[in-house]
Chains A and B, each alone.
Chain A
Amino acid sequence: DIQMTQSPSSLSASVGDRVTITCRASQSISSYLNWYQQKPKKAPKLLIYAASSLQTGVPSRFSGSGSGTDFTLTISNLQPEDFATYYCQQSYSTPLTFGGGTTVEVK
């Protein structure tokens, strides 16, 4: 199985900050990497698919990059509604696996 490792597990930030979350795969997954946002008591929401494609309706302050084993999610100009937990997920092969999550908290 492909292991996904996210870092950091949590971070503190302020509105307006630029935030970067990293995700590393245990083997190459090409660009089959997706990012989700989850708020408390809510279902996850797709932000980025195929490493860098922004899902329709998602603000352009969210961006994704990377290929192979190393990926990043960047939130530029952090907004109050962006405080949440973020997960990466590989779809290169089954079983489909997620990273452990990164919680973005208010500083």
Chain B
Amino acid sequence: EVQLLESGGGLIQAGNSLRLSCAASGFTFSSHAMSWVRQAPGKGLECVSSISGTGGSTYYADSVKGRFTISRDNSKNTLYLQMSSLRAEDTAVYYCAKGGRDGYNQPSSNWFDPWGQGTLVTVSS
């Protein structure tokens, strides 16, 4: 069974940094693209960053470009999101999601399946 378990969320002051982790199990981690998708309270979904299976290609939403860094350690089956210069508008539940297309490790032409349970990041101003 595929499992994704996020950790690292919490309450943090604006301007500070935080690193989220997503521990994956139940599948060949390096063969799948991974993404971070966030949801602000009462709002819709936003994909903030994606990474290819090898880690060689990364993608960012304009809202986080230059502040967030996605990475992965395929030896540890773990996805990361390093967040810096945090703002109040970064407050959200952050989900990690696996690229659901088998035999394909790019984020585009793909879908998110499954998702982790999410970790809440609250940025206080």
Contact = CB atoms under 8 A, between A and B. Distances in A.
Bound pair (A, B): yes
Given A46-B100, A101-B44, A95 B59 contact: yes
A89 B108 CA distance: 11
Contacts of A95: 47, 59-62
A91 B44 contact: no
A72 to B, nearest CB: 17
B122 interface: no
A94 B59 contact: yes
Interface of B: 35, 37, 44-47, 50, 59-62, 95, 100-101, 107-118
Contacts of A98: 44-47
A95 B59 CA distance: 7
A32 B108 contact: yes
A36 B44 CA distance: 12
Contact of B47 (A43, A46, A92, A97): A97
Interface residues of A, number: 25
Contacts of B108: 32, 91-94, 96
B50 A43 contact: no
Interface in A34-90: 34, 36, 38, 43-46, 49-50, 55, 87, 89
Contacts of A1: 62
A29 to B, nearest CB: 10
B36 to A, nearest CB: 11
Contacts of A50: 111
Among B35, B47, B59, B112, chain A packs the most CB atoms within 10 A around the CB of B112
5 contacts: A49-B111, A87-B45, A98-B46, A100-B44, A101-B44
Contacts of B115: 43-45
Nearest to A42: B117
Contacts of B95: 43-44
Interface in A1-43: 1, 32, 34, 36, 38, 43
